Chains A and B, each alone.
Chain A
Amino acid sequence: MYTFSNRLRTAAFVLMIVGALGLAYGFFAAPSTEAEALAMVADAHHGDDHGDAHEAGAAMEHGDAHAEEAHAEAAHGEQAHGEEAHAEDHGSSHGEHVLHQLQNKPWAALYVSAFFFMMISLGVLAFYAIQRASQAGWSPVLFRVMEGITAYLVPGALILFVILALSGLHMNHLFVWMDPEVVAHDELIQGKAGYLNVPFFLIRALIYIGGWGAYKYFSTKFSRAQDTASDDSNFIKNFRISAAFLVFFLVSESMMSWDWIMSFDPHWFSTLFGWYVFASMFVSGITVIALITIYLKSKGYLDFVNDSHLHDLAKFMFGVSIFWTYLWFSQFMLIWYSNIPEEVTYFVTRIEDYKLPFFGMLAMNFIFPLLVLMNSDYKRLNWFVVMAGIVILFGHYIDIFNMVMPATVGDQWFIGIPEISGILFFAGLFIFVVFNALTKAPLLAKRNPFIEESKHFHY
């Protein structure tokens, strides 16, 4: 049995408290009036050339449409919705726009972190189900670690649900399509209102969370029941529900990515988006399995885990990183190549306002793991895998950041106190929930038909 070390527990609480304070500061520091917002922007841009560019860009932008809302990317400019309605209040529209962006900042910081950590445990759950359904012989010694990590899924997803529900109650401007004022002037969103409406959106969210939570609950239950069983019936049940879950997961994950990420830009759509988000969560999940396995092994809890298990996890990190890059590039290149205005604005805003995070994540998620994890010997070195894993996790945080921020805070982004605090808070919560769950069952599954093979796994 694992015992949660006091130092780690304290560290988790410190992270949570510091993070919560920082997030509170973020909400406190957000402007409440247009004048404040404009003053903040003027301060921030004072003396750098970006200021001019921004003012020019903003002036050009509210010439046409978007003034009414925080989504307000140049992206939406050419849709020309609400043009007449807002052309006259030219002067105040810039202020309103900036106000909404700045008010969104702490919310978006909270959302990105909440989604990122939820997505890690969802990725681990998918990995776990694949290991079960494929009857992998190498991984059963890691099942308890995976079960521990997926314990964060339900609380994490419920926190996200609360944020979504608060958005639905108009506590923030994260989702443009939730604002009736915007929808009234936007025929494109009106056309999608059959799918994008708050009640249906929240019901869908509950269905996804319910499905994932049910699988997590029953698979863990059967897995623990197998420890004391006299036959393999629990193992077989687990095999069946894992296969069924994977079918449900593929559909629900895809729809979840449309709902929770893609609907930040309700004018834009991409067909492989679900896969892209999946690749991101899958590689982050595998990385976290590797990191927690290395941590527990270093504390002497996983003596049955050897270099070859680590090697396999590192191979997955390497392979799925490249899979992520493949999907990222497929999405980017197809849109860049055809250059259709209504699609390409998504990348135009990202490349103009988010150049460093947008291309930086490519270095962190592709080039770094490609070069570091290619060598077979390095994949067996703990410190190498840890180093690569930390870079991959940061890279995928930036990936989610790039998906959410341009539509919510636009060019007002900054990785400052609210963003870092969001990471700290959810990292603390994640550590607390996961390591707490690890104390609940022995770290080696007994009576799993593949456990002996897995213990002697050698590559």
Chain B
Amino acid sequence: MASKVIQALYNDDDVLMSAVKRVKAERHHIEEIYTPFPVHGLDKVMGLAPTRIAITSFIYGCIGLTVAITMMNFIMIQDWPQNIGGKPSFSYLENMPAFVPVMFELTVFFAAHLMVITFYLRSKLWPFKEAENPDVRTTDDHFLMEVALSGNEDELKALLVETGAVELKITEKH
């Protein structure tokens, strides 16, 4: 029975928000919510942990900066310190202003791209991934809340109808 869920459909995000508060207050476990667009504040109401993706991005940026410095220090200063147009190639610091554009761009490049890839990995998104959409209307104008069902079917149904659900479905959790 634990794998059964009840799916409640709403057609307004404000109604959804108050429904989430109500269901949380009644101590039911919300499995998942599907919305066609970002609903501001939904994560707070659901009690989701804040994302740490900005922290990963900062770390990736630091890695990018290190890559840029190591690369240019090796190529321009250590490996073959040529005199190119009179630029001082005696030490990294002396020639640093010329390297700053590359350092900046690589920092941004690493921070942005690795963060995006992290996002894809964490949210399990890739090309040819099979869509996990319980109801096709949730990409258009409906909001769907999935609540775990554990033998309290009628009580939960009544609660959801009371919160303004326009349709209820009971299905196996996929």
Q: How big is chain A's contact interface, by range?
A: under 10
A65 to B28, CA, bound (A): 86
**Which A residue's beta carbon lies closest to that of B87?**
A337
Interface residues on chain B, number (Cβ under 8 Å): 6
Indicate which residue in B54, B58, B100 contacts A329 across the interface (CB closer than 8 Å): B100
0/1 string, B141-161, CB within 8 A of A gives 1: 000000000000000000000
**Which B residue's beta carbon lies closest to that of A374?**
B58
User: At the interface, yes or no: A295 with Cβ under 8 Å from chain B?
Assistant: no
**Which A residue's beta carbon lies closest to that of B86?**
A339
User: At the interface, yes or no: B97 with Cβ under 8 Å from chain A?
Assistant: yes
- Whether A333 and B100, one on each chain, are in contact in the complex, defined by CB atoms closer than 8 angstroms, is yes
User: At the interface, yes or no: A336 with Cβ under 8 Å from chain B?
Assistant: yes
0/1 string, A360-398, CB within 8 A of B gives 1: 000000000000001010000000000000000000000
User: At the interface, yes or no: A248 with Cβ under 8 Å from chain B?
Assistant: no
- Whether B58 and A337, one on each chain, are in contact in the complex, defined by CB atoms closer than 8 angstroms, is no
A311 vs chain B, min Cβ distance (A):
15
- Whether B58 and A333, one on each chain, are in contact in the complex, defined by CB atoms closer than 8 angstroms, is no
A339 to B87, CA, bound (A): 10
A-chain residues with CB within 8 Å of residue B86 when the two chains form the complex: 339
Q: Which of B48-66 contact A (CB under 8 A)?
A: 54, 58
User: At the interface, yes or no: A200 with Cβ under 8 Å from chain B?
Assistant: no
B-chain residues with CB within 8 Å of residue A28 when the two chains form the complex: none
A-chain residues with CB within 8 Å of residue B97 when the two chains form the complex: 329, 332-333, 336-337
A337 to B101, CA, bound (A): 12
B6 vs chain A, min Cβ distance (A):
33
User: At the interface, yes or no: B75 with Cβ under 8 Å from chain A?
Assistant: no
A135 vs chain B, min Cβ distance (A):
22
A376 to B51, CA, bound (A): 12
A377 vs chain B, min Cβ distance (A):
10
B-chain residues with CB within 8 Å of residue A376 when the two chains form the complex: 54
B-chain residues with CB within 8 Å of residue A329 when the two chains form the complex: 97, 100
B127 vs chain A, min Cβ distance (A):
32
A336 to B100, CA, bound (A): 13
- Whether B98 and A337, one on each chain, are in contact in the complex, defined by CB atoms closer than 8 angstroms, is yes
0/1 string, B8-21, CB within 8 A of A gives 1: 00000000000000
A277 vs chain B, min Cβ distance (A):
21
Between B58, B86, B97, the greatest number of chain A beta carbons within 10 A of the residue's beta carbon is seen for: B97
A337 to B100, CA, bound (A): 12
B-chain residues with CB within 8 Å of residue A332 when the two chains form the complex: 97
0/1 string, A251-288, CB within 8 A of B gives 1: 00000000000000000000000000000000000000
B-chain residues with CB within 8 Å of residue A333 when the two chains form the complex: 97-98, 100
**Which B residue's beta carbon lies closest to that of A335?**
B97
A-chain residues with CB within 8 Å of residue B54 when the two chains form the complex: 376
B-chain residues with CB within 8 Å of residue A336 when the two chains form the complex: 97
Across chains A and B, which 6 residue pairs bring their CB atoms closest together, nearest first? A333-B97, A336-B97, A337-B98, A329-B100, A333-B100, A337-B97
Task: Report which A residues bind B (CB closer than 8 A).
Answer: 329, 332-333, 336-337, 339, 374, 376
7 A-B contacts (beta carbon < 8 Å): A329-B97, A332-B97, A333-B98, A336-B97, A337-B97, A337-B98, A374-B58
Q: A333-B100, A376-B54 are in contact. List 10 more A-B contacts (CB 8 A).
A: A329-B97, A329-B100, A332-B97, A333-B97, A333-B98, A336-B97, A337-B97, A337-B98, A339-B86, A374-B58
